[in-house]
A and B are shown apart, each in its own frame.
Chain A
Amino acid sequence: MIRSFSTFVLAASFVVGLAAQSDSQRLRTAPWSPEVQRAFAELPVQDGGRVKPLDTVLQFALYRIQHKRKVHVPDEARFGFLAKTSLTPIEWGLDLMLYPEASNIVPAFTLEDSDVLTVIGIGDVEKRKRDRYSYAELEPGIQELVEKASEYHAIDTKKRTLLQGQIVGLANAVREYQGLSRALDFARARYVLPEGPVRELFDGAVEVRTSDVLRKMAPLIRLFQTERDDAGVREFADDVDEIVKVSHHLAWIPPSVDSHEEWLSVSDLFEMSFSGIATGDQIECVERFEDVTDALGTPGEFDAAVFALHAKLSSLTKARGEFDKIPGEVSYYRADFFGWALVLFLGGFVVLAFGWLAPRARWLATGSTLFAWAGEVALVWGITDRCILRERPPITGLYDTILFITGIVVLAALVQEAINRRRIGLMVANVLGAAGMFLSFAHEVSSGTDTMDPLMAVLDTNFWLATHVTTVTIGYAAGLLAAGLSYVFLLGKLFGLRKGDRAFYHQIGRMIYGSIGFGIVFSTVGTILGGVWANDSWGRFWGWDPKENGALLIVLWFLIVLHARLGGYIRHYGVALLSVLGGAVVAFSWWGVNLLGVGLHSYGFTSGVQNALVAYYGLSVLVFALGIVAWARERAETAAAQPPAVS
């Protein structure tokens, strides 16, 4: 989103001055075959500093544009075959690139606040406050959107109002959509050659393709310079210029020189061709794209053209040693490990809930345990797959921490369950497992940032990522597990669950205490290891910066709880009460310190996180207060039950 707003493509008509193909103007009438989807998904593209599958590029583009994982097409006749379907990112992307004009009626944009429409001058569109819009609906307001966004872009992000932030966000989404929808214009383009020197240069051909133009770029440039007064030549030069302008969005042509790391867009290829640098291989890639758009609508030929395109690009990428992880990454996203984990944890919880209705049916508890373990396997499998694909330890960013923490919490809760078999750990495992998976989806979609992009220089150390980051994150997990168990303890007491069953609560109390013990080891060692890393890399052990302080706060909180317990100042109730607040301390360290410096008017992801965080702090205080009420009530009941003293 760094590119200047001047790069906006405002033209609504496609392939200006060129002969366009009619296929782009109607929606498709049959599903994309799985093989075609797979081949397109595996097309390599350089984006965000790495070579990744087109599938990943489209997935995160969709998150940024629509804030959802799929595009749901309404049940309306005008959508024809697509009506009432849910499009995956690759299906949506194929439609957008291959049927760009027709796809403009598909509602692919989500607006959080319909006031944005009023600001860009199309407030008469009747929708709900938060709703989905098609490009065709937004199109009349795009000129105004560009102007407003340019104005608001100059305002510091911290000082933008929510509405201003949403306008900048929508402008970015529209630009990305336009870039994708015109990504294959170069392949569809047919340049009608004017009579005269241009046609002579192409041996009398009347119409040529982009690949033909690229092959003749050097003599063409000379022609453009010498025959600039010829109207036909000028018109042809404008046609070429139009394609150059709209073909910069995807860098999917591998460079011909091994030492060059930057991949090329077709716009770049044109620039290189001016000096005759583009190689036959690169122009052949363009030809394969052209074959695909040419064959659209002819199933057998289309499939063959797609496979030929895949073969060409993958062979060039393999030769550079950049293809080996691409099929694996596509498979990783297709496998949807975390989606499965979510389903299994939810299933485990539902089965356990039935178990509460029929306490003697032990097989329900066994079933719930199997669900929870299956969910944990899916989760760990997904994390492991990410490690293999990235050749990194499990945690390199915030998204990874969600997965890892959930994995540790579930594992620790299931181990506790295996030891005491009270179904407390089982319930916590399923509930927190599902919550963690929900959080991971919400984070992935709302941030809209590829979670496998390369690391910045300072984090490029697998040793410290594997030691400090992993241990300190296990500490977070333990704190959250203690908080989760404490919720069960306090709310159970409040609502009279298993009233009078002291052993039950005694058991939960010990589980909470055990979690804190588990947490203090990892938090302390992890925090100190962070200092050792800082000392090793920057020559200072401790700098009192927010992230370091956040980790220290968790250690201090754990120490307060442990010393208060050891000193006899608190018992199970007190430990549970403090652990609920400890969960808020973990949340502050995990998410809160990352938001320091972010103003109240920030847009999108950070404001969403801030709201969720404030809600969690509020919940923690509420449960703490309710816990106090339950404790006071229990004390009063105990005092009332005591026989009067005999004087």
Chain B
Amino acid sequence: MKQLFDYLSSFAFAITILAFMFVITLVGTLVQETQMSLYDAQRIYFDSWFVVQHVWGPIYVPLPGGVLLMTALAINLLFGGMLRMKRTRSRAGILITHVGIAMLLLAGLVKFSMSYEGQLALYEGEASAEFQDSYDYEIVVFEPLANGEVREYRVPHEQFATLGARDTLTVRNKSWPFELQVFGWMPNCRAVPPSSKTASALPVVEGHTLEERPAVLKHDERNLPGCYVRARIGDSEQTGILWLIESPPMLTTHPWTITVEDKQWGVKLRRETHRLPFEVRLDDFRAEFHPGVRKARSYESWITASADGADVKHHIYMNAPLRRDGFTLYQSSWGPQGGSERDRLFSVFSIVTNPADSWPLWSCVVIGLGMLIHFTVMLVRYAMREARARAEVTS
């Protein structure tokens, strides 16, 4: 046990972790040049426990992923950098630095496990309290209720987004008079009339079938996924296609409808939708450019946030987001492309929720302080030693 503690708290372990972190960070950066999007690089290299890295030809090398390395670093930091380390005055700076790094790792853990992010696009005058997830999708079944309202049943991203070309996901709900099958999931596709390019095994629905396209590696947001759905009602079945269409400001899709005993149900593929605790209305949006060139000088949105009957005006622009009720809304982009003041413009906000929002700032202060103390002490000692040495030579 002591040997294990000694190793986990050792410099050797620290150096090993740091070296692997260096390798993972370097590889995870280089792959973004041509091989994958930032999102995929993050998922594969940094949000993972292990990575199998293709080196050359048939050679593959297993590497620890970011999560494993961060965990190991936290252990080493705790054991070696705080518990085992000699707590002398001269090492006070190092100890403070290690505490700051631990705070930073904790902030990362909270962000990793509890944060989510998405986008909200509004035309001037529009309002919404819902925003779309940046990465995840959902299939939603709509049931019209007798009182005119609509009930939503959601099939989450992780249940269908990993389906292979021949896999089928069956979803049942006791409130439904049918069983829903999801198959033929494609991360990037278009609905087209059948041709020699489309897979003949796939069904043709209302003269269309899905044609798979190569995934856009560098720009995840340009991928338009799609899939087939089949509703089995007793012995009969109805088949439909769900696919997303680029329709600025956001992706959109039309629901596929199932009719069971004169009641129409809707099924739709969309970006996962989150709710804000307040409604956002875009009052005005302005994009300014430096004179004579199309280089952006500023993008600014004036919004009204409403909750419980109270309206509050806010001004959001680059480097000045709105922080409210645990959500951060920042100015992300705008459109339509090439639009001017004469056009009806839309503004896109990125929305993030992160309980550890301000922790990095505090850890930065602690780390900076710790390092400053340590290296100032070192510098003063060095200068004094040199002065002494010169004095000895002179005498």
A residues bordering B, Cβ < 8 Å? 2, 46-50, 251, 261-263, 419-421, 453-454, 456-458, 460-461, 464, 510, 514, 517-518, 520-521, 524-525, 528-529, 531-533, 535-546, 549-550, 552-553, 556-557, 559-560, 563-564, 566-569, 593, 596-597
Q: Identify whether the interface residues of B are mostly helix, strand, loop, or mixed.
A: helix
Interface residues in B119-151 (C-beta closer than 8 Å to A): none
Least CB distance from A48 to B in Å reads 6
Q: Identify whether the interface residues of A are mostly helix, strand, loop, or mixed.
A: helix
Whether B382 lies near A510 (C-beta < 8 A) is yes
Determine whether B78 belongs to the interface, using a CB cutoff of 8 Å to chain A.
no
* Cβ 8 A contact of B292, one of A47, A464, A510, A546: A47
Determine whether B245 belongs to the interface, using a CB cutoff of 8 Å to chain A.
no
Which of the segments B189-197, B265-273, B357-365 contacts the partner chain? B357-365
Identify which of B289, B293, B390 gathers the most chain A CB atoms within 10 Å of its CB: B293
Decide: A419 near B382, CB < 8 A? Known: A262-B292, A535-B357, A535-B360. yes
Whether A48 lies near B293 (C-beta < 8 A) is yes
Whether B350 lies near A541 (C-beta < 8 A) is no
What is the bound-complex CA distance between A586 and B115, given in angstroms?
A: 32
Contacts of A514 in B (CB 8 A): 378-379, 382
Whether B297 lies near A539 (C-beta < 8 A) is no
Least CB distance from B125 to A in Å reads 24
B residues bordering A, Cβ < 8 Å? 10-12, 14-15, 18-19, 21-22, 25-26, 28-30, 32-34, 38, 41-42, 45-46, 104, 107-108, 111, 115, 117, 218, 289-299, 317-321, 328-330, 350-352, 354, 357, 360-361, 363-364, 367-368, 371-372, 375, 378-379, 382-383, 386, 390
Contacts of A524 in B (CB 8 A): 367-368, 371
Whether B117 lies near A539 (C-beta < 8 A) is yes
Whether B295 lies near A596 (C-beta < 8 A) is no
Decide: A531 near B360, CB < 8 A? Known: A517-B378, A567-B12, A596-B33. yes
Whether A456 lies near B295 (C-beta < 8 A) is yes
Least CB distance from B282 to A in Å reads 18
Least CB distance from A562 to B in Å reads 10
Whether A559 lies near B360 (C-beta < 8 A) is no
Whether A521 lies near B11 (C-beta < 8 A) is no
Q: Which residue of A lies closest to B362 (CB)?
A: A532
Contacts of B320 in A (CB 8 A): 537
Whether B22 lies near A525 (C-beta < 8 A) is no
Least CB distance from A411 to B in Å reads 14
Contacts of B12 in A (CB 8 A): 567, 569
What is the bound-complex CA distance between A596 and B318, given in angstroms?
A: 25
Contacts of B33 in A (CB 8 A): 596-597
Q: Which residue of B lies closest to A523 (CB)?
A: B371
Contacts of A543 in B (CB 8 A): 38, 42
Decide: A420 near B378, CB < 8 A? Known: A262-B291, A528-B363. no
Whether B367 lies near A528 (C-beta < 8 A) is yes
Whether A537 lies near B372 (C-beta < 8 A) is no
Whether B18 lies near A460 (C-beta < 8 A) is no
Contacts of A533 in B (CB 8 A): 319
What is the bound-complex CA distance between A420 and B368, given in angstroms?
A: 27
Contacts of A550 in B (CB 8 A): 29
What is the bound-complex CA distance between A543 and B115, given in angstroms?
A: 13
Decide: A541 near B296, CB < 8 A? Known: A514-B379, A556-B25. no
Contacts of B386 in A (CB 8 A): 419-420
What is the bound-complex CA distance between A272 and B181, given in angstroms?
A: 65
Q: Which residue of B lies closest to A520 (CB)?
A: B371
Contacts of A542 in B (CB 8 A): 108
Least CB distance from A462 to B in Å reads 10
Whether B364 lies near A532 (C-beta < 8 A) is yes
Q: Which residue of A lies closest to B290 (CB)?
A: A49
Whether A457 lies near B29 (C-beta < 8 A) is no
* Cβ 8 A contact of B30, one of A460, A540, A545, A596: A596
What is the bound-complex CA distance between A514 and B381, given in angstroms?
A: 11
Least CB distance from B367 to A in Å reads 6
Contacts of A460 in B (CB 8 A): 297-298, 318-319
Least CB distance from B25 to A in Å reads 5
What is the bound-complex CA distance between A538 and B352, given in angstroms?
A: 8
Contacts of B108 in A (CB 8 A): 541-542
14 A-B pairs (CB sep. < 8 Å): A261-B291, A457-B317, A461-B318, A510-B382, A532-B360, A532-B364, A536-B319, A537-B319, A537-B320, A539-B350, A545-B38, A563-B11, A563-B15, A564-B15
Contacts of B14 in A (CB 8 A): 563, 567
Identify which of B46, B290, B317, B320 gathers the most chain A CB atoms within 10 Å of its CB: B290
Q: Which residue of A lies closest to B367 (CB)?
A: A524
Q: Which residue of A lies closest to B38 (CB)?
A: A545
Contacts of A539 in B (CB 8 A): 117, 321, 328-330, 350-352, 354, 357
What is the bound-complex CA distance between A569 and B28, given in angstroms?
A: 28
Whether B363 lies near A596 (C-beta < 8 A) is no
Decide: A421 near B390, CB < 8 A? Known: A460-B319, A539-B352. yes
What is the bound-complex CA distance between A445 and B306, given in angstroms?
A: 54
Whether B29 lies near A461 (C-beta < 8 A) is no
What is the bound-complex CA distance between A464 and B295, given in angstroms?
A: 20
What is the bound-complex CA distance between A419 and B330, given in angstroms?
A: 49
Contacts of A419 in B (CB 8 A): 382-383, 386
Whether A540 lies near B38 (C-beta < 8 A) is no
Identify which of B10, B26, B38, B378 gathers the most chain A CB atoms within 10 Å of its CB: B26
Q: Which residue of A lies closest to B364 (CB)?
A: A528
Decide: A458 near B29, CB < 8 A? Known: A49-B292, A528-B360. no
Please give me the 5 A-B residue pairs with the lowest Cβ-Cβ distance, nearest first.
A567-B11, A49-B290, A539-B352, A539-B328, A261-B291
Contacts of A453 in B (CB 8 A): 295
Contacts of B290 in A (CB 8 A): 48-50, 454
